[in-house]
Amino acid sequence: MSDYDNGAYRPYSYENQRRGAYQISAFVSLLVAIGCLVCVIPLHLQEGWSPVSGRFIEAKAEVENRSVVVRYSYLVDGKNYQASEIENSRKPAEQAAKLTNTYGKSLTIPVFYNPAEPAQSRLGIQDLKKVIVFYEAVLLACLFIWLVSVLAWFSRTRSSESSSGVVSSASTVPNSPLGSIAPAKPEESIKIKVEEREKQHEAE
């Protein structure tokens, strides 16, 4: 039966699994945090965009992509712009019908455009502040998980190194409980027996 079957390496394997789990947790949380940061920065920039009353053209459901494509137009400084926006929805057909009923009668829809680049725009259907708060909350949660995972991984690594150092030093200490890890050499055993016999002769 091998040492692994006897359980000699199981504590170390368990520690390696724990450290690996902390590494994966830190990596995944960092990726999600970066994704949230990439999404929330443009949203903050859009908070300064100017509102304008746009013209609703159509809302087309894309069942395969579970989304609704909303086409609209708006007027800025006498120039007409056309744009489209994709709205994710679990029930795109119902969402498209709802948007058509809401904005199709008046043919007007709230639009926000970039004053520096009027061709850039977004619909004012969703509350932008709620979306920003959501992304920021996820971002902070991911950063907290990343910090905890890194600290736990570092603590486990230091603890494992300290434990391995104690085991190595115990193998060289005489009369150590862990002395069986490094048994005495045959030459040392013979020398000890010779010394014991000499002491017995002297005592006689």
Say if residues 147 and 29 touch (Cβ distance below 8 Å).
Answer: no
Stated pTM of the model: 0.54
Query: For the CA atoms of 17, 21, 24, 25, what is the dihedral angle to 10 degrees?
Result: -170
d(CA 23, CA 148): 11
What residue type is assigned to position 1 of the chain?
Answer: M
β-pair type (67-76, 121-123): unpaired
d(CA 35, CA 41): 10
d(CA 135, CA 132): 5
For the chain, the domains span 3-42+136-170, 50-113
Q: What is the pLDDT along the chain (204 residues), one digit of tens a residue?
A: 454 455 444 555 777 788 888 889 989 999 999 999 988 888 888 888 889 999 999 999 988 888 999 999 999 999 999 999 888 888 889 988 988 888 887 788 899 999 999 999 988 866 778 888 898 999 999 999 999 999 988 887 777 666 655 445 444 445 544 444 445 555 555 666 666 766 666 665
